[in-house]
Structure 1
């Protein structure tokens, strides 16, 4: 889920160690566009889940150095490094643990109960499956991680409240360290 194509996965193999050495984790990588002008989009964060503009700039410079030396993409491309945002993609097992209780959208690579798309409340991670409480269903649906093509948080009031509380705690912590 962190990369969609074989080319994405090769780039992750190259760039994961770069990000980790700089103190970041790549949440998702996508190389988009055709043969002409391509876009390498990298969503990343620090281990604490934060990612500010300075972090994006720092990681972008580190990645650019390696990309210039290794030259793994033929032709021109634009590098974009960003935070995953509030309504972030869920790509790693720890994401499914961290955001338990929040509403998510899922897309699967196969039909399950006659459909590929689901929306519900994330009920957690159990082994290599996630639990999702689907509206109108009595039992929690268990979906193998291997079947998930895309998973994303839904922007809700609860999620926005969590984001605001996280920002407030970070600002309070920063103010204490400067005093």
Structure 2
């Protein structure tokens, strides 16, 4: 285990670089691996962005963070820098996580033990707006959205969609 002061030095050096790129530093971890340290950063798009962080941007930020770490001697000795995004397996625990998951299928475990499933259409203040989805096939269906107070959610997960199914109304092509 590496001292928290080392982790804070890495955060202090990396955060301005990540922010300058218009991104958010989600997590910092520093661990010993033999004679060297492994520095792991998790970065993400701003909460208002929809979509994914592209690999070119991730590579650019990684290079710039590496330079900042070297310039500030934030890590003693040799280190390996690993920069990644949260990915779909990240539990949705904070309002910004839910905002980043807009347009995605989500499964919510509620505080009362029940669950909810739908397409996250919006986060309005402290309320999630879920569009109706057929749980059997993940297709969007018609109907009124469901509003779920964030305070009622114990945890949320993004459901992976290998290919988003479109309805006839969504397609411009002739059948």
TM-score by structure 1 length?
A: 0.53
Distance 1:58-1:98 versus aligned 2 partners, 3 A rule: closer
Distance 1:76-1:54 versus aligned 2 partners, 3 A rule: same
Specify the SS of the correspondent of 1:33.
strand
Structure 1: 5+ residue stretches without partners: 105-118, 134-152, 169-179
Q: Which residue of 2 aligns with 1:51?
A: 53
1:102 equivalenced with 2:128 (yes/no): no
Q: Which residue of 1 aligns with 2:153?
A: 131
- In structure 1, what is the Cα distance between the partners aligned to 2:4 and 2:91? 17
- In structure 1, what is the Cα distance between the partners aligned to 2:55 and 2:15? 20
Larger Rg: 2
Distance 1:159-1:79 versus aligned 2 partners, 3 A rule: same
Distance 1:121-1:83 versus aligned 2 partners, 3 A rule: farther
User: How far did 1:8 drift?
Assistant: 2.2
- In structure 2, what is the Cα distance between the partners aligned to 1:59 and 1:12? 14
- In structure 1, what is the Cα distance between the partners aligned to 2:89 and 2:114? 14
Alignment: residue pair count: 123
Deviations 1:86-114 (A, max 9, x none): 1125575411565595357xxxxxxxxxx
Instruction: Name the structure with the higher helix share.
Output: 1
- In structure 2, what is the Cα distance between the partners aligned to 1:96 and 1:30? 23
1:64 equivalenced with 2:66 (yes/no): yes
Q: Which residue of 1 aligns with 2:9?
A: 10
Distance 1:33-1:17 versus aligned 2 partners, 3 A rule: same
User: How far did 1:63 drift?
Assistant: 0.4
